[in-house]
Amino acid sequence: MSDAPRLRHQVCFALYSASKAATAVYRPVLEDLGLTYPQYLVMLVLWEQEPRSVRELGAELGLDSGTLSPLLKRLEGLGLVERRRSAEDERRVDVVLTEAGHALSAKSKAVPQRLADAAGLSSGEIEQLHATLAKLTTALNSSL
Amino acid sequence: MSDAPRLRHQVCFALYSASKAATAVYRPVLEDLGLTYPQYLVMLVLWEQEPRSVRELGAELGLDSGTLSPLLKRLEGLGLVERRRSAEDERRVDVVLTEAGHALSAKSKAVPQRLADAAGLSSGEIEQLHATLAKLTTALNSSL
DNA sequence: GCCGATTGAGTTGTGCACAATTGAATTGTG
DNA sequence: CACAATTCAATTGTGCACAACTCAATCGGC
């Protein structure tokens, strides 16, 4: 007993819980779009800029091909993206949005507000949280 | 392009990234203990108090039986816990630590320090982050 | 130009997360 | 007491995360 680390005192558990809670809030909203949360993240990157290689998507999101390959296959199955071998470098696969993929962008605009509404934090707190998380993530990733 | 939500501006992505980075820092440390991160969380709960029913573990961790049942089966396979039907209520399964499970507690004491070392945040920032995350998680979960 | 090293995407295998369902045990109400 | 409703754990199915590996394309040094 006793001097073992306590669950409620652990920042790692607070992060884990908050992250799960956030995706749980998004889940029903994204379900209306026909997307899972990681699929939504991929679409966010593509809505910013396309085409993107699998490699670039992985760098943005911190995911490897073992995660992205099947995920992109599902997005392609949904008719939202297309994959094609890059002409300049035959190792690369470029991912581009289909017309349906572009169209979904409009329907997605209301998504982030959902989290803000449910968060119960002031915009100042949100901003500070965001900054601290960014700093933390950078430090943790660079310690590996 | 345009007014689509941007990945880097999303708090949900900051949470997702930070949570993944934290478990990545823990992974090699926990590997020395023979545990995955969710298995470590379950052990944390049991080190605080046992026995715990599957239901109670799920309530503490926010996980359902679909996640816990196979996870506990693996912990049992490792010889760290035992499961047995509760005497008072035959629906419940009580999870108890084995001797090896108790012994692992001592080796786990150094684990949380690893994250603190890698975090690059002051203890004040950590504390504030923890408080904000707790508040956020409560608000998000109660909005469901 | 050749060849070893590296890079990029995909596959396989393990484990977590969650929805939906099953089936047994218990509870509540008539 | 009876029995419908609820609770609890387990199972099934889908999808994400990551390690380890394969294989082809490219790059670098000579």
Task: Count how many Cα atoms sit within 13 Å of the Cα of residue A75 in the half-sphere of its side chain.
Answer: 31
- Tokens found for residue B59: 């309530």
Please tell me the pTM assigned to this model. Answer: 0.92
Asked if strand D contacts B61 at the CB level, meaning under 7 A, the answer is no
Structure confidence at residue B2 (pLDDT): 53
- Tokens found for residue A45: 């990157």
Structure confidence at residue A1 (pLDDT): 47
Q: What is d(CA B97, CA B82) in angstroms, rounded to the nearest whole number? A: 6
Structure confidence at residue A7 (pLDDT): 84
Structure confidence at residue A8 (pLDDT): 81
Question: CA–C1' distance B115–D25 (Å)?
Answer: 40
For the segment B121-142, what is each residue's pLDDT rounded down to a tens digit? 888 999 999 999 999 999 999 9
Q: Across residues B64-73, what is the average pLDDT?
A: 98
If DSSP codes are grouped into helix, strand and coil, which group holds residue A58? helix
Structure confidence at residue A13 (pLDDT): 97
The mean pLDDT value of chain B amounts to 93
Q: Across residues B74-81, what is the average pLDDT?
A: 98
Q: Per-10-residue mean pLDDT for chain A, 144 residues long? A: 72 96 96 97 96 97 97 98 94 97 94 90 91 95 88
pLDDT of B82 over the 80 cut: yes
Structure confidence at residue A3 (pLDDT): 63
If DSSP codes are grouped into helix, strand and coil, which group holds residue B12? helix
Q: Could you tell me if A59 lies within 8 Å of chain B, comparing CB atoms?
A: no
For the segment B40-58, what is each residue's pLDDT rounded down to a tens digit? 999 999 999 999 999 999 9
**Residue numbers 29-58 of A with CB closer than 7 A to any atom of strand C:** 53-55, 58
Query: How many CB atoms lie under 10 A from the CB of residue B24?
Result: 16
Structure confidence at residue B6 (pLDDT): 79
CB pairs A-B closer than 8 Å: 204
Which residue from B minimizes the CA distance to A108? B4
